[in-house]
Amino acid sequence: MKKYTNLPGFLRFVTALTISTLAVSGSGQSLQTDDPESAGFSSTGLDAVTTNLQQHVDDGDIAGVVAAVARDGKLVYFEALGSLNIEQQKSMPKDALFRIYSMTREITSTAVLQLYEAGKFELDDPIQKYLPEFSEQRVLMNPDGTDVSQSRARSGDITVAHLLTHTSGLGSRGSTLYREQQVRDKNYSLDDMMTKAASVPLFHDPGTAFRYGIHATILGKLIEVWSGMPLDAYLQHHIFDPLEMNSTVFWAEGKDVDRLAELYRSIEGQLTPHRIEAVPWTSRPRLLEGGVGLLSSVGDFLRFSQMILNRGELDGHRILSEETAQLIYENAVPAQAMPIGERGYWAGSGWTLGGFNLVMDPSAYSFPVSAGTIWWDGSAGTRYFIDSSQGIITVIMAQVSPSRGGGFREDFTRLVDAALMERR
């Protein structure tokens, strides 16, 4: 495996922690729990977390929520509150399934790193080597415009590393340009979407700017090319099965339908069922999307996150080598693309070759966070944090659009931080 030599600075070496095994099943029935004080938390402080989340439910910000906190492999907090489905009067179970949207991306990127380890590609490879439809892609003359006839020749090629760091020039599935050009639709196949994405000009030359976008969906197709397997089959065999992520799927069927949380939107102060996608999450979509396509549970994402915190291993299953897993803790966004994004906390972030958002400047955030933490949101109300300096994982999931939900995730982060008594 060739060492990737074009990483910018910002290398952050994190002291390895001795992690005891965390056995969290997707159903929440097999948990190695411990009292909060044994892991340096205050039980009273974590009770305040529950009180606050219940208040968000009572206020109608969210219908229900599942949240968990683990430290050094000890599960010290795991609560389910409110409703899975208000209309059907179903209480929220700990094994509820949630649309995790952009949190799918980290799982897809981990699969990419596995195939990198296997020597299937180099990070500097142009993607047109594997997806020739991207060979002649052009660039918009005006990156804020939507006139695809006003374009110029591209300078440089999109590489795999560009896809992992959101610096390829591709845009967001929700951008005006992509909506007008119908780039993404769950009624398309993955091949259809590749053709559509390659036919629309880039927003900027590859490697010159950060733009959050459809990169992980392109990576999903590359996984199929490199592995010779359908994306869902590859993820099942190489990530979900070894990590016992039994509740992470592209669609819910059979008994799983009964634990799929309803998605809500507040309309005139009333939570109302809402659909973001035209294709229901209870049938197989044509588009199996590595960027935003998965359902998962809090228990499953805890196991995935613990593997990342453990530098690629969980319960004797090595998903990534330590060397490759270290790429997840190193910024790889070129200096000219920093700071990134319009939201204040993005300015304190970098993006890694594992597809993870890395905190570089905690002062840029509006909620407590440590340097070196990796985290991200899902656009229907989910979030995770992996804080390697403290050995802490938090995962919180609800289903609300827009995802703010009265700031329930920010309150959760703030109050968990306040409950931590023993810092390192």
Predicted confidence (pLDDT) per residue in 48-100, tens digit: 999 999 999 999 999 999 999 999 999 999 999 999 999 999 999 999 999 99
pLDDT for the residue 242: 97
Is the predicted pLDDT of residue 232 greater than 80, yes or no? yes
For the segment 230-257, the average pLDDT, to the nearest whole number, is 97
The single residue listed with the structure tokens 């597809």 is 355
Which run of H or of E encompasses 189? none
Query: What's the mean per-residue pLDDT of the chain?
Result: 91
Beta-carbon neighbour count of residue 225 at 10 Å? 15
Closest CA to 98 of 327, 369, 381: 381
The tally of CA atoms less than 13 A away on the side-chain side of residue 218 is: 33
Tens digits of residue pLDDT in 128-153: 999 999 999 999 999 999 999 999 99
Residue 244 has a pLDDT of 96
Residue 14 pLDDT more than 60?
no
Which region among 8-12, 62-66, 333-337 has the lowest average model confidence (pLDDT)? 8-12
349 vs 24 pLDDT, higher one: 349
Q: Which residues contact 259 (CB under 8 A, 6 or more apart)?
A: 84, 93, 95, 96, 97, 252
Q: Structure pTM?
A: 0.92
Rounded Cα distance, 24 and 301, in Å: 9
- What is the reported pLDDT for 343? 72
Model confidence band, residue 337 (pLDDT cutoffs 50, 70, 90):
confident
153-185 pLDDT, tens digit per residue, is 999 999 999 999 999 999 999 999 999 999 999
Q: How confident is the model at residue 342 (pLDDT cuts 50, 70, 90)?
A: low
DSSP lists the bridge partners of residue 382 as 378, 397
pLDDT, residue 10, reads 27
Say what the pLDDT of residue 372 is.
94
Residue 24 pLDDT greater than 80, yes or no: no
Domains along the sequence of the chain with CATH: 36-99+232-419 (3.40.710.10), 110-228 (3.40.710.10)
Position 257 pLDDT exceeds 60: yes
Distance CA 138, CA 203 (A): 9
Percent of the chain with pLDDT over 90: 88
Q: In whole angstroms, how far apart are CA 139 and each of 163, 175, 206?
A: 16, 16, 9
| Per-residue pLDDT tens digits for 347-384 | 889 999 999 999 999 999 989 999 999 999 999 999 99
- The span from the CA of 211 to the CA of 192, in Å, is 22
Alpha-carbon distance 173 to 401, whole Å?
Answer: 16
State residue 75's pLDDT score. 96
Give the alpha-carbon dihedral of 219, 223, 224, 230, to 10 degrees: -100
